[in-house]
Structures are given as C-alpha cells and as structure tokens.
Amino acid sequence: MNMPVHAPLEKFQRLGDLLGIELYVQRDDLLAFPLAGNKVRKVRAELRTLSFTPELLITNGAINSNHCRTVALAAAELGISTHLVLHDSSKCDQTNSPALRLFRNIGARTTVVPPDCIASEISAIRERARDSGIRAHVIPGGGHSPAGALAYREAGLEVFRRLRPDVVFVASGTGATHGGLAAAATHLPSPPRVIGVSVARSADIGVAQVQQAAAWCGAASAAVDFDDRFRAGGYGMEDDATHEAVHLGWSNGLPLDSTYTGKAFAALIHYAQSKQLQNARVLFWHTGGLWNYLVADTQAGHR
Ligand SMILES: *Cc1c(COP(=O)(O)O)cnc(C)c1O
C-alpha cells in the first residue's frame, strides 16, 4: 500500500494544566482510516511486507476486534478477500451486531467459533484454500507480528525525535505496539520511559510478549515498563478509575474508550496525581478505540 501513514501530534494544554503536566497526544485515532487506531499501522505494515499478493487473508479476533475490521477493509481496498475466524464470549444478538453487519458489507467471510477452536478452524480454511489453488496468507490475531512491531518502532522514532518526550503512555494488549515503541526509545540519546498499560494481561505473561516484540525490532534488551494495575480485572472489564479517565478525556476534547485508551489514561492520571510526572514532557500515544466506546455504550446502557 502506498498511502502515507501519518497522524497529528497535538498538545492538550487545558487537560495538561488540569493534571499539572505538559501533555501531548499522538493521535493514531486520527490516522486516515474509518474508526482508526493502531491496527492501521500494524495491518498496513503486514501487507507491505508480503512477498506475494495473496488472494485471501485469514485472521482471527473477537467479533468486535479492531484488528479484524482493519484487515477486512484494507484488504477490500486491494481486492483481496478475507476470511475472519471470530469468537465471542458474550451472548449478544449476532445477526444484529454492528460488527457483523460491517463484515457483511465489506464482503468478508466470517466463521464464529469457540476460542479453543480458532487454530483448527484457521488450518482448515488454509487447507481448503490450498486445495483450490488460492494463494492465502494468515495474519496472526491482533496483528501480533514482527511487521506490526516494526511499524511502531518506525513511528516511535519519528515522533520521539520530534517531541523528545520524557514519559510515554500506551495501551498494551498483545504487546506489539508497546514493544515497537520501547525499541524506538533505545535509539534516543536520552530515551523516554515507555509505560505500557496493560488492558488485559498480568505482568507475569505480558512482559514476555512485549520483550518478544522488542526483540523483533532488534532491541531484545529494551527496558520493558509494563503496568498491569489498571486492567480493572481483565480484557473488556472496567472500574471507577476507567470511567473517570474516559469522562475526563471526553470532557476535555479527548475521545477515550473503556477497553483500551481509558485504561492507559487512568494510569497517566494516577502517575500525575502521585507526582511522578513533575516537570516531565508526557506523551499519550492514542491507539484508537472509538468503535469500542460506541459498542460498549449500546451493550451496557449509557454510563
Ligand atoms: C489492539 C489495540 C491496542 C493494543 O495493541 P497491541 O499492539 O495489541 O498491544 C490498543 N488500543 C486499541 C484501541 C487497540 O485496538
């Protein structure tokens, strides 16, 4: 893909003043893509590094996966078909799900399976494609691949060199985004502290994933600063700190969601209030999540 992957870097003066910090936001939620987020950089990088043009992309994720949506739409633009292996633990009405409606409009095939059948389903789809002479490529779930991490190393280098932040906050899920940014930091004369705020995993599993992603970027010994205290119990769960962060963000012009960016911002608020960010230039790396915000609202009523 030849489209530029750029997003604004903005100073949030008023919100920064409220928190007593110098606050900048890297707006990857404003990458030129519908309901944008970090998956845009990761998926585009993944597609760029393919040595052949596939006819079919196979990947997996939850029904509301930002990764799956981005893969399906980016592939559609290139005339590549997609088969998404989806799982869902909630008992939502699947025929009315906005996510499934979007996949139908894109023309992506979807198969919904229980989480423990994902790997076997992907193998079966791949084998059927091979038998029919279709060139297929499997993208790891969540875009947790070297290409995605490298895309974030590249983006991190550009933004860190421009802004020279002291501390960076980013929501950390599979760890590819965090690992790429942590790798970028190692190239700076005075490296920023890159704090990955876990949205799901506890540190005992999460740190190794981030380290692996940093290693993909040639920075196996990068410092991994992984904070798992703001997960609110796990993926898709939320607590008062999440809600307060989401509200503080929106009420100062910064859109946040409770699955990803609200947790990262809850951490930022905590560090600011406990005076750990004094005189620091703070960069909040916004990873998207507007879809998650909209869907959470319709599922759980207005908060
Ligand atoms: C996927 C996602 C993340 C987590 O990114 P990883 O690279 O998997 O750690 C963070 N924020 C949003 C909005 C996402 O969709």
Q: What pLDDT, in 10s, does the model give residues 278-293?
A: 999 999 999 999 999 9
Q: Which atom of ligand 1 lies closest to the CA of 173?
A: 9
Report which of 178, 202, 204, 165 is spatially closest to residue 287, judged by C-alpha positions.
Answer: 178
Separation CA 181–CA 172 (nearest Å): 11
> How many angstroms is it from 231 CA to the middle of ligand 1?
13
* Six token digits for residue 185: 């930091």
With a CB cutoff of 8 Å and minimum separation 6, the contacts of 104 are: none
Under a CB-based contact definition with an 8 Å cutoff, are residues 212 and 183 in contact?
Answer: no
Cβ of 66 closer than 6 Å to ligand 1, yes or no, is yes
Can you give the pLDDT at residue 65? 93
Residue nearest to atom 4 of ligand 1 (CA): 173
Under a CB-based contact definition with an 8 Å cutoff, are residues 108 and 82 in contact?
Answer: yes
> How many angstroms is it from 35 CA to the middle of ligand 1?
13
- Give the whole-number percent of the chain exceeding pLDDT 90: 88
Under a CB-based contact definition with an 8 Å cutoff, are residues 151 and 184 in contact?
Answer: no
Can you give the pLDDT at residue 2? 46
Mean pLDDT (whole number) for 181-196: 97
> How many angstroms is it from 114 CA to the middle of ligand 1?
22
Can you give the pLDDT at residue 4? 57
Cβ of 287 closer than 6 Å to ligand 1, yes or no, is yes
Q: Is the pLDDT of residue 301 over 50?
A: no
Whole-number average pLDDT of the chain = 93
In 10 A of CB 77, how many CB atoms?
13
Q: At residue 84, what are phi and psi to the nearest 5 degrees? A: -105, 130
Under a CB-based contact definition with an 8 Å cutoff, are residues 267 and 169 in contact?
Answer: yes
Q: Which atom of ligand 1 lies closest to the CA of 42?
A: 7
Identify which of 71, 260, 286 to mutate to test ligand 1's pocket (most ligand atoms within 8 A of the CB).
260
Cβ of 82 closer than 6 Å to ligand 1, yes or no, is no
Identify which of 174, 195, 217, 242 to mutate to test ligand 1's pocket (most ligand atoms within 8 A of the CB).
174
Can you give the pLDDT at residue 1? 45
Tens-digit pLDDT profile for residues 44-68:
999 999 988 999 999 999 999 999 9
Mean pLDDT (whole number) for 75-104: 86
Mean pLDDT (whole number) for 165-180: 98
Can you give the pLDDT at residue 34? 87
Q: Is the pLDDT of residue 300 over 70?
A: no
Residue nearest to atom 5 of ligand 1 (CA): 173
> How many angstroms is it from 67 CA to the middle of ligand 1?
8
* Six token digits for residue 236: 């898709």
Cβ of 258 closer than 6 Å to ligand 1, yes or no, is no
> How many angstroms is it from 22 CA to the middle of ligand 1?
24
- Please give the angle made by the CA atoms of 98, 238 and 24, to the nearest 5 degrees: 90
- pTM confidence score: 0.95
Using pLDDT thresholds of 50, 70 and 90, give the confidence band for residue 96: confident
